[in-house]
Chain A
Amino acid sequence: DAGITQSPRHKVTETGTPVTLRCHQTENHRYMYWYRQDPGHGLRLIHYSYGVKDTDKGEVSDGYSVSRSKTEDFLLTLESATSSQTSVYFCAISEVRGNEQFFGPGTRLTVL
């Protein structure tokens, strides 16, 4: 399995609080992605990175920001969490653009 970890694995927070999720990889892959998974929607891309300090928006980026200061770490921040952001968040990595992605174990986030 690809070396991808996510932290925390579970988090419960309150509306309006900031939340940061971390994705860490040991594969030295260039591309990293954040998805959210919700019933009936499959996986939807939030943001992705194509290199250190290089990021771009996905289809559901509103309310989220990302940062990548090192190859191995990709952070997803909810500046002010809302109940609509309750979801399971997956990080993925890819060595080649458009190629297969490898997924982390996920973070279950509940916003009360």
Chain B
Amino acid sequence: LAKTTQPISMDSYEGQEVNITCSHNNIATNDYITWYQQFPSQGPRFIIQGYKTKVTNEVASLFIPADRKSSTLSLPRVSLSDTAVYYCLVGGGNNRLAFGKGNQVVVIP
């Protein structure tokens, strides 16, 4: 398993951009970086996936530096409904994907 390290929790005000970092020092050459979002009483939901540089979709952006030992999920202009747990996963190549404990993001009015 590729170990990932995320902050346990963070708060943000409504309308701000939120950046969530994840460290993954033992990422393998053929591993991907994937982020999921989980609301209370629901299963996780896929947000975004990348291999290197930057990936953007309608929900978020994912920034991956050249060494790929970390990544940053960026949520633009968060709303109260973005309050959730965010999981960073690394794997799919030599390492099996593992969810870990995630990062609780609370959006404050």
Do A and B belong to a common assembly? Answer: no
Residues of B within 8 A of A (CB): none
